[in-house]
């Protein structure tokens, strides 16, 4: 295919270089570049430029043209860089002095084009593409390009500035990498082994960083910090320590100044520094700087800073403790009784009295706490007990319960009904469930959570978070009164929430019940409570909800509830419930107008089947599910049906619960019996129909399953084919199989005729002449499954997306525009 | 200007404003909570209620067996329920010129005020207020008259006896002012005094102009603006900013008020109407799904329209489409029909439906599809068509009279049934007291759409009245939640609080009055310019004040004297044009005045600052000069030689 494309290349180059043509869109140009990149990587030392002289002509004509479009110039710059990525090619360019010409903007036909950000970006990208070998670096240093790159670092276009930073880091990295050092020096060698002009280049870059950090210009400082953090995370020694020594002083100044807008970037720099060997050397003051950022917790920005430090992965313990103390201050301050009041600083007080800052501070405090809980952080100065009590108190305050004496009545009024803090607080409360020390607070915790579930004013999203927290606390460690709590406190609330006006609430309630049932699977008491309390019948009535999503969640919940009871005595007394559930679920699968509930039904069957317990009542419905699911309009329902089929196959073939177990029968017989069972379930119809489905993923899945079957049938030598004959008439897949069957027969016949052999003895093995019924193994043979699978794995747009079609598009667009011009006259 | 507060109930106000010699009553609410002290009036003979033991004091000294009955540990009065009227003794009600009604809930005491008090004024109300108010009054009368009681209990009210009764009867206040319900004749007579007004329509009487503004709370509900040329009083009664069925609240016209009288805020500030509506629906669905019945004690107009609309959508989605709703009230039919015809009083959304044409409320469709059925009472058709499980809407929310009493007796014993309280006027625990023990589930979802404290403080920030007058409970957090400082009015200057029988002098300074000049007098004026753009003229005239209108008339000519030549000549001479003498006006600037005194040899002056200005003590002369904003006094102990130069200096 590439040779096809290469033949089109000269024409494409002509079109692209033609200033009269409007340039193709950016995506086409990017795709073209991708193709070049791929071509280049596959070239195996063959030099593209030598074989395609049109490229050099194209590049020079674009640069010289006085009417070049910026998009084309940008493309050309990137392409040049790509093509000059090997020394050999670079020499080819250099021979005509073309390379200097391309990257020297004063030499261009139109100097003004530099004003266009896409051109500057292309220029940088070109250099980045080229920087694969020493000569490229030499070219940049020799032509003073480093200076331009440093200028571009403060470009008004963020993309350009970012790219410049990347390029600078790449250069620094390249300078220290092993292929750059003279002789046998390895990484870590000193700069002295570098060529002098490169030493100059690296110090030029580093000086620029120092200069930027000392600048009064805010954007310049930001860019400097960004470059610094990039260097720290991407480069190795000795660059890092050399640079750090130089920037330490201006960095200290910045940190002590404590400008709010720089905090995030400063922290990124320090975070990057934490990941380097700088941390272990005290003279580099990394820890000291981070500590300085925190201050004494009496600056407005220290909370933000503390929140960021808490999130750091590699953070010195002392520092983390300090940050933790600071970030917990707002939470403690709002929810502490006056007598326990530590001296609270004025800044915090002021921040808490304003609504916006109060809420954001508390949210930072809560989410940092949750973050710490995720790692099961060990608190030292303050007990997890009192922290949890604070969170509980805060949550109570949010729902309008006021503690008897309060420190910040202002903060209290800001908090009433504040969903943001409620959600965040509930998340944190859930996260705190990892601490076993606070298990004795469980009563209070469940009290608050129940209050939230009961409150008529709880927002739908708050309820969802409450459910998550309840689940975490129930699951974390079962307690003696758990069942009592569930059936007396939780279930009545859930029942009411399932009748909520808002479908989102009904939906998340059902989801919660499903999760709870899954989590407590095996807890016989829970299953019993679920049935005795009448929850299952409430779930069943939710199957008729007006909202499709809710019906889907109800299906899942009913599915779980039924499986949960499978090994219980309860089920026997509630077999009616199971029957009713099956009837309703089948009705949903066959009649529901929305896809979600239907998908859920098939998924429920899959999970039933996956379960370890055999539910005989389900077996009767399986064939209906397979046929209804396979003929659904929704491709996802079909996919789920195929997954069901897969599970059925796995289960049957491994333990054969559905086959008649004849002790002593051979493996082969059992396999045949399993296949007969599949046939009776309509599994083959499903697979073959899906194989010719209009949705590619469906076909792919069906094909994979059939391939699996084919392997198994091939492995089983004495398969009784006569028992596995399928009717191939009257359906789409049958017609296809017949067509292929006839084609093969004809081909064989013609081969036989040419070979002078009659084909009479060919059909004796399994009745080849009869095209109405064909055995399964034969069908699997007739269908060229491997070829089908290969075709199906290609993405559906693989034809349209090829480089050839891209080039043809570019050419035909040019042709059309010419025609249009002709039309005008 | 004075405000007489005849009711202390914040949502059932009755205040009288004396403003510019007019006496205006603002609303006429009837506090029906007194009915809770009485036994329910059963529509059908109730063996349970009839067998209740009478009350005898423990020592047997007081025996009120016939008047008081004991029921589950509480004592109730066995008599026709009575209501607590607005205070009648605070001022002579016959002097009231006009009564302004804000909504149909706030007019239930009207017959008590307009009948038998010598009232001769006019009542202003919007049409829906009048019509629905009439329905509510008629319903109340029917509820009472359907179950007549032979005698009225009065002995228990005796102070000495009441003191011995168990609580809460012991603590009931003003029991002697409680009255039985009025009659239909009294209702008709009272309502015949109503004159209909529309929103923003201006009614003038005397010097005061009154304007009703939409308040967004119920059909035809209004706030009122009472203003003269230079003063503006706003009266905000039950108002709502929620989008329910009535026209939205008009806020901008309330701006720049000197005084804003604020009543009728939500009674349950912690209950958010949306949340309560959700609670209502989910409890209803839960009960119906479990095969129980739902009883909703409610007024026959108001929130019931919104409930029906909400249920109209909810029942199908909850898969309860076939459950019947019954609305039982003597005025059920009229209430449902009236709501559909007052299109111009509805919110825009509902108004536009009328042009389609469609009925504005979906309950029409519920009736058409037989999902909602309405009956005047449980007798008659209802008993034959009644099907369970069902939802019944019926009154009265106090559970003391009306058809609801029957359903309480009928359904109270089963835990499958639920009673859902949606009206916020009564404590549900008190309402349920005579039905104990009760197996039926009780749910309290008070839906009060009136302004909450958050909304009202935002509103006040917008409209910025100079002074706010409100019922006392609004100035402190609810007694049950003393820390909720967000549930009270915090204003600067602090609001003036009133309680029952308060008389407030409103902080109003009448600074200006508009005076008309008769044309002939105006013609005689000779203005002379004292500085660019400002001219003054002296005028001699007679000021006539009548009906709050002030007119300057020419001084009546002296009785005609027989003409003499000499005189005639004199009168024909053109009047002499003189520059006006400097007149005293405005405040005396202190510094220049001191300088002036100094110049005139008065050097020893002690200046003292007061609330209104300054006091100057001329020590040598022993003279006091009081300088105030609108008055200057020279106190010089009849030292005439000193007084004259003093006033000359002032004129300076």
Residues from chain A contacting residue B314 (CB–CB below 8 Å): 501
Identify the DSSP state of B467: E
What 3 state SS string does A56-95 have? HHHHHHHHHCCCCCHHHHHHHHHHHHHHCCCHHHHHHHHH
Which A residues, 117 through 146, put their C-beta within 8 Å of a C-beta on chain B? Answer: none
Query: Cα separation of A82 and A130, whole Å?
Result: 6
Arithmetic mean of pLDDT, B635-650: 66
Per-residue pLDDT at A183 = 42
CB-count exposure of residue A694 (10 Å: 0-12, 13-18, 19+): exposed
**Nearest-by-Cβ selection for B289 from A404, A541, A545:** A541
Q: Are A298 and A345 in contact (CB under 8 A)?
A: yes
Residues from chain A contacting residue B484 (CB–CB below 8 Å): 400, 402
| Closest by CA position to A209, among listed A158, A252, A160, A251 | A251
Determine the length of chain B.
652
As beta bridge partners, residue B554 has B541
Residues B439-490 have pLDDT tens digits of 999 999 999 999 999 999 999 999 999 999 999 999 999 988 888 888 999 8
Please tell me the distance in Å from B290's CA to the nearest CA on chain A. Answer: 9
This complex has an ipTM of 0.76
Query: Cα separation of B490 and B497, whole Å?
Result: 12
pLDDT at B250 over 90: yes
Q: Are A359 and A398 in contact (CB under 8 A)?
A: no
Q: Which residue is listed with tokens 């002392």?
A: A318
Query: Cα separation of A803 and B600, whole Å?
Result: 108
Please tell me the distance in Å from B270's CA to the nearest CA on chain A. Answer: 8
Q: Are A696 and A741 in contact (CB under 8 A)?
A: no
Per-residue pLDDT at B566 = 53
Arithmetic mean of pLDDT, B633-642: 72
Element (H, E) at B640: helix B640-651
pLDDT at A768 over 50: no
pLDDT band at A657 (very low <50, low <70, confident <90, very high): very low
Residues B170-205 have pLDDT tens digits of 898 889 889 999 999 999 999 999 999 988 766 666
Residues A556-598 have pLDDT tens digits of 999 888 777 555 555 555 677 778 888 999 999 999 999 999 9
Tokens linked to B576: 């002499």
Q: Are B54 and B64 in contact (CB under 8 A)?
A: yes
pTM of the model: 0.78
Identify the DSSP state of B486: G
Q: Are B292 and B389 in contact (CB under 8 A)?
A: yes
B375 phi and psi angles, rounded to 5 deg: -140, 150
Q: Which residue is listed with tokens 């198994």?
A: A712
Q: Are A793 and A701 in contact (CB under 8 A)?
A: no
Average pLDDT, chain A: 80
Cα dihedral sign for A673, A675, A681, A682? negative
Q: Does A179 touch chain B (CB under 8 A)?
A: no
Q: Does B208 touch chain A (CB under 8 A)?
A: no
Residues B297-344 have pLDDT tens digits of 999 999 999 999 999 888 887 878 889 999 999 999 999 998 988 888
Arithmetic mean of pLDDT, A259-272: 81
Q: Does A36 touch chain B (CB under 8 A)?
A: no
Q: Does B289 touch chain A (CB under 8 A)?
A: yes
Residues from chain A contacting residue B285 (CB–CB below 8 Å): 499
Query: Cα separation of B588 and B76, whole Å?
Result: 70
Query: Cα separation of A176 and A20, whole Å?
Result: 46
pLDDT band at A602 (very low <50, low <70, confident <90, very high): very high
Where do the DSSP E strands lie in B148-293? 178-179, 194-196, 203-205, 208-214, 222-227, 232-236, 259-262
Where do the DSSP E strands lie in A544-609? none
Q: What Rg, from alpha-carbon coordinates, does chain B have? A: 33
Tokens linked to A474: 């129930």
Whether residue A538 and residue B289 make contact (CB cut-off 8 A), yes or no, is yes
A629: alpha, beta or left? (left if phi > 0; alpha if psi -120 to 50):
alpha
**Nearest-by-Cβ selection for A416 from B281, B317, B486:** B486
Distance of CA B438 to the CA centre of its chain: 37
Residues from chain A contacting residue B286 (CB–CB below 8 Å): 495-496, 499
Residues from chain A contacting residue B284 (CB–CB below 8 Å): 499
Residues A42-81 have pLDDT tens digits of 776 566 777 777 777 788 777 777 777 888 888 888 888 8
**Nearest-by-Cβ selection for A413 from B282, B286, B485:** B485
Query: Cα separation of A535 and B137, whole Å?
Result: 46
pLDDT at A763 over 50: no
Q: Does B281 touch chain A (CB under 8 A)?
A: yes
As beta bridge partners, residue B3 has B17, B504
CA distances from A6 to A35, A39, A50, A303 (A): 11, 10, 13, 60
Per-residue pLDDT at A759 = 43
Query: Cα separation of A580 and A792, whole Å?
Result: 41
**Nearest-by-Cβ selection for B286 from A400, A455, A496:** A496
Q: Does A729 touch chain B (CB under 8 A)?
A: no
């Amino acid at each position: 295919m590439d040779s096809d494309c290469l033949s089109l290349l000269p024409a494409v180059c002509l079109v692209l270089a033609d200033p009269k043509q409007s340039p193709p869109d950016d995506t086409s140009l990017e795709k073209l570049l991708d193709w070049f990149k791929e071509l280049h990587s596959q070239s195996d030392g063959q030099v593209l430029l030598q074989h395609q002289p049109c490229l050099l002509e194209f590049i020079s004509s674009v640069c010289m043209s006085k009417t070049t479009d910026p998009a084309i110039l940008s493309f050309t710059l990137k392409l040049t860089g790509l093509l000059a990525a090997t020394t050999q090619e670079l020499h080819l360019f250099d021979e005509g002095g073309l390379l200097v010409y391309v990257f020297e903007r004063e030499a261009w036909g139109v100097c003004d084009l530099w004003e266009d950000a896409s051109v500057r970006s292309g220029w940088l990208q070109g250099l980045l593409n080229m920087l694969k070998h020493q000569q490229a670096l030499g070219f940049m240093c020799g032509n003073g390009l480093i200076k331009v790159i440093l200028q571009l670092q403060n470009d008004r276009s963020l993309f350009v500035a970012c790219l410049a930073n990347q390029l600078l880091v790449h250069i620094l990295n390249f300078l220290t990498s092993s292929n750059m050092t003279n002789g046998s020096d390895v990484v870590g060698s000193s700069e002295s082994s570098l060529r002098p002009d490169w030493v100059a280049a690296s110090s030029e870059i580093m000086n620029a960083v120092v200069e930027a950090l000392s600048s009064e210009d805010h954007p310049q400082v930001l860019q400097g910090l960004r470059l610094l953090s990039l260097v720290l995370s991407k480069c190795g020694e000795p660059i890092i320590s050399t640079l750090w020594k130089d920037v330490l002083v201006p960095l200290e100044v910045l940190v002590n100044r404590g400008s709010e807008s720089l905090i995030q970037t400063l922290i990124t720099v320090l975070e990057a520094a934490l990941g380097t060997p700088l941390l272990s050397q005290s003279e580099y003051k990394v820890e000291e700087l981070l500590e300085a950022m925190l201050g004494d917790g009496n600056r407005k920005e220290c909370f933000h800073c503390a929140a960021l430090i808490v999130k750091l992965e590699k953070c010195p313990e002392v520092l983390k403790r300090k940050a933790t103390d600071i970030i917990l201050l707002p939470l403690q301050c709002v929810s502490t009784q006056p007598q326990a009041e530590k001296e609270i600083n004025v800044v915090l007080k002021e921040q808490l009295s304003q609504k916006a800052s109060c809420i954001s501070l508390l949210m930072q405090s809560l989410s940092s706490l949750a973050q710490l809980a995720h790692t099961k952080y060990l608190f030292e100065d303050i007990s997890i007990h009192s922290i949890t009590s604070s969170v509980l108190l805060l949550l109570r305050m949010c729902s309008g319960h006021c503690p008897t004496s309060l420190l910040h009545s202002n903060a209290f009024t800001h908090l009433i009904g504040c969903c943001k803090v409620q959600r965040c607080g509930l998340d944190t409360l859930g996260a705190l469930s990892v601490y076993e020390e606070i298990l004795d607070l469980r009563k209070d915790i469940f009290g608050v959570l129940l209050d939230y579930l009961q409150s008529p004013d709880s927002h739908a999203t708050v309820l969802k978070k409450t459910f998550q927290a309840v689940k975490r606390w129930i699951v974390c460690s079962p307690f003696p009164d758990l069942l009592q709590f569930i059936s007396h406190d939780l279930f009545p609330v859930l029942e009411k929430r399932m009748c909520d006006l808002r479908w989102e609430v009904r939906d998340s309630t059902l989801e919660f019940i499903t999760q709870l049932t899954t989590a407590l699977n095996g807890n016989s008491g829970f299953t019993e409570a679920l049935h005795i309390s009448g929850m299952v019948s409430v779930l069943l009535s939710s199957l008729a909800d007006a909202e499709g999503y809710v019906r889907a969640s109800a299906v899942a919940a009913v599915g779980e509830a039924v499986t949960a009871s499978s090994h219980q005595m309860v089920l026997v007394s509630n077999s009616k419930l199971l029957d009713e559930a099956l009837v309703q679920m089948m009705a949903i699968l066959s009649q529901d107008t929305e896809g979600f509930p239907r998908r859920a039904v098939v998924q429920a069957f899959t999970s039933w089947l996956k379960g370890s317990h055999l539910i005989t009542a389900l077996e009767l419905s399986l064939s209906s599910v397979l046929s209804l699911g396979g003929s659904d309009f929704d491709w996802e329902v079909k996919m789920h049906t195929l997954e069901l089929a897969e599970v059925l196959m796995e289960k049957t073939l491994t333990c054969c619960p559905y086959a008649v177990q004849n002790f002593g029968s051979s493996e082969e017989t059992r396999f045949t019996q399993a296949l007969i069972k599949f046939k009776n379930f309509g599994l083959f119809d499903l697979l073959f129909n899906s194989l010719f489905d209009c949705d590619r993923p469906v076909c792919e899945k069906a094909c994979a399953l059939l391939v699996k079957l084919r392997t198994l049938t091939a492995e089983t030598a004495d398969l009784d084919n006569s028992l596995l004959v399928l009717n191939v008439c009257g359906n789409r897949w049958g017609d296809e199989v017949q067509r292929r069957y006839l084609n093969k027969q004809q081909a064989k016949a013609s081969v036989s005729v040419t070979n002078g052999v009659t084909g009479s003895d060919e059909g004796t093995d399994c009745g080849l002449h009869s095209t109405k019924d064909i055995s399964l193994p034969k069908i699997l043979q007739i269908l060229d499954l491997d070829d089908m699978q290969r075709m199906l794995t290609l993405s559906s747009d693989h034809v349209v997306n090829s480089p050839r079609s891209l080039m043809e598009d570019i050419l035909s667009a040019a042709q059309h525009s010419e025609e249009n011009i002709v039309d005008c006259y | 200007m004075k405000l007489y507060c005849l009711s202390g109930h914040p949502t059932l106000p009755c205040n009288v404003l004396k403003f510019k010699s007019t006496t205006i009553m603002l609303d006429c609410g009837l506090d029906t909570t007194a009915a809770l002290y009485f036994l329910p009036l059963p529509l059908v003979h109730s063996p349970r209620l009839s067998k209740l033991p009478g009350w005898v004091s423990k020592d047997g000294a007081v025996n009120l067996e016939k008047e008081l009955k004991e029921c589950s540990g509480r004592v109730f009065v066995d008599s026709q329920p009575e209501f607590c009227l607005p205070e009648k003794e605070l001022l002579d009600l016959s002097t009231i010129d006009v009564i302004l009604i804000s909504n149909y809930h706030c007019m239930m005491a009207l017959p008590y005020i307009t009948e038998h008090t010598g009232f001769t004024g006019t009542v202003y109300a919007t049409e829906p207020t009048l019509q629905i108010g009439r329905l509510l009054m008629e319903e109340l009368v029917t509820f009472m008259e359907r179950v007549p009681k032979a005698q009225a209990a009065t002995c228990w009210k005796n102070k000495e006896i009441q003191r011995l009764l168990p609580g809460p009867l012991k603590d009931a206040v003003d029991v002697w002012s409680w009255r039985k319900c009025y009659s239909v004749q009294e209702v008709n007579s009272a309502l015949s005094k109503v004159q209909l007004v529309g929103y923003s329509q201006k009614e003038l009487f005397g010097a005061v102009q009154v304007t009703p503004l939409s308040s967004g709370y119920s059909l035809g509900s209004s706030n009122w603006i009472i203003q003269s040329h230079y003063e503006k009083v706003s009266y905000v009664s039950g108002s709502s900013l929620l989008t329910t069925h009535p026209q939205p609240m008009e806020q901008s016209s309330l701006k720049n008020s000197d005084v804003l009288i604020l009543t009728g805020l939500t009674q349950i500030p912690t209950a958010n109407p949306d949340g309560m509506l959700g609670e209502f629906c989910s409890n209803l669905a839960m009960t119906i799904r479990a095969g129980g019945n739902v009883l909703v004690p409610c007024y026959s107009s108001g929130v019931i329209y919104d409930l029906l609309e909400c249920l109209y959508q909810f029942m199908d989605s909850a898969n309860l489409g076939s459950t019947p709703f019954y609305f039982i009230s003597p005025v059920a039919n009229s209430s449902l029909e009236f709501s559909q015809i007052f299109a111009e009083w509805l919110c825009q959304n509902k108004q536009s439906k009328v042009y389609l044409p469609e009925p504005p409320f979906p309950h029409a469709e519920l009736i058409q599809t037989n999902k909602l059925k309405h009956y005047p009472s449980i007798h008659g058709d209802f008993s034959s068509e009644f099907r369970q499980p069902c939802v019944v809407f019926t009154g009265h929310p106090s559970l003391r009279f009306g058809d609801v009493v029957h359903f309480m007796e009928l359904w109270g014993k089963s835990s499958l049934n639920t009673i859902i309280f949606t009206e916020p006027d009564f404590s549900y625990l008190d309402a349920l007291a005579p039905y104990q023990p009760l197996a039926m589930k009780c749910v309290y979802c008070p839906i009060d759409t009136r302004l909450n404290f958050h909304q009202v403080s935002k509103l006040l920030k917008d409209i910025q009245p100079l002074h706010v007058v409100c019922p006392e409970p609004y100035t402190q957090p609810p007694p049950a939640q003393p820390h909720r400082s967000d549930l009270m009015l915090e204003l600067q200057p602090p609001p003036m609080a009133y309680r029952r029988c308060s008389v407030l002098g409103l902080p109003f300074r009448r600074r200006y009055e508009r005076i008309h000049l008769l044309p002939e007098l105006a013609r005689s004026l000779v203005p002379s310019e004292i500085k660019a753009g400002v001219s003054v003229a002296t005028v001699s005239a007679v000021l006539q004040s009548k009906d709050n209108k002030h007119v300057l008339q020419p001084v009546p000519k002296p009785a005609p004297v027989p003409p003499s030549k000499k005189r005639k000549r004199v009168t024909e001479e053109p009047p002499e044009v003189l520059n006006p003498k400097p007149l005293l006006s405005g405040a005396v600037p202190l510094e220049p005045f001191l300088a002036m005194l100094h110049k005139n040899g008065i050097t020893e002056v002690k200046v003292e600052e007061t609330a209104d200005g300054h006091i100057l003590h001329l020590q040598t002369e022993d003279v006091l000069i009081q300088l105030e904003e609108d008055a200057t006094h020279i106190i010089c102990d009849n030292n005439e030689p000193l007084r004259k130069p003093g006033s000359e200096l002032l004129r300076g």
